[in-house]
Amino acid sequence: MKNIAVVLAGNGVYDGAEIHEATLTMLAIAQQGANYQCFAPDTNQAHVINHLSGEEMPETRNVLVEAARIARGNIKALSEYKAEEFDAIVFPGGFGAAKNLCTFAFDGPNCKVNADVETAIKETVSAGKPIGALCISPALIAKVLGDVQLTIGSDKGTAEAIETLGAKHITTTHGEIVVDEKYKVVTTPCYMLDATISQIAVGASNVIAKILEIA
C-alpha cells in the first residue's frame, strides 16, 4: 500500500485547515487503497478566529495541537517528515494554509513560508514524488517552486498574485485538476469556488487518484 503524508494547518477554515477538505482528502486516500499519516508544523497560529462571529479572539493556539483534533491524535510534527518514507504529500486548504503554513493571506506574493513546510516540499520534489494541493494551498507551492503550473479556481486577484511568483495559473471549475508534469504537482480549487461538500469530495478524490497514478 502506498503511503501519503497529509499536512494540516490547524483546525477550522478561518485560521487553520479546512475540515471538509482535510477529512475528504483522508477519506479519498483510504477509499483508493492507500494509507495516510497526518503532519503539522509545531508552531503557533497566526491568530485565532471565532468561527461563529468571524472575529479575532485574544488567545494563542498551536497549529500541531489544533490539527490533532482532525487527526484524532494520530499526527506528527512536520519536522519529522522524511520524503523517502512516503509516496506523496498533500496539502488541504483553509486559511491556515495561507496564514500558518505561509503568510500569503497577509503578505501576498511577498509571503514567507514556514521552514518545515518549505523543506518538506523541496525534499518531496527532489525525491521525484507527487505533491497535491487543494484550495489556497497552491499559493505556498508557487512560492517555494516558482515556475509551476497550478490552479486556485477562477479568482482573478489570487491568480495574478500567484503568477507574480513565476507560476502559471490555469482557470478551473469544480472537481477539475491541473497537473504540473515537471514537479508532479496536482491541484484543485475546492472552496476557492462557491462549492458544496459533495463537490469538495470530487476534487479531493480526483487529486488523490492522479497522485496515486503518478507516484
Residue in the structure block whose three cell numbers are 487543494: 134
Who's near 39: CB < 8 A, 6+ residues apart? Answer: 5, 6, 7, 8, 75, 76, 77, 78, 80, 81, 120
State the average pLDDT over residues 189-210: 98
Q: What is the mean pLDDT of residues 163-181?
A: 98
Give yes or no for a contact between 114 and 130, defined as CB atoms under 8 angstroms apart. Answer: no
Place of cell 511577498: 110
Q: Is 135 a catalytic residue?
A: yes
Q: What is the mean pLDDT of residues 116-121?
A: 98
Residues 6+ away with beta carbon under 8 Å from 104: 98, 111, 136, 139, 140, 143, 161
Say if pTM beats, i.e. exceeds, 0.75: yes
Q: Kindly give, in sequence order, each residue whose CB lies less than 8 Å from that of residue 194, ignoring residues fewer than 6 positions away.
A: none
C-alpha cell at 165: 511568483
Q: What is the pLDDT of residues 43-59, one digit of tens each?
A: 999 999 999 999 999 99
CA 150 to chain centre: 13
Point out the catalytic residue in the list 38, 102, 111, 135: 135
Tell which CATH classification among 3.40.50.880, 3.40.50.300, 3.30.950.10, 2.60.40.10 matches the domain 3-214.
Answer: 3.40.50.880
Sequence ranges of the domains in the chain: 3-214
Tell me what pLDDT residue 201 has.
Answer: 98
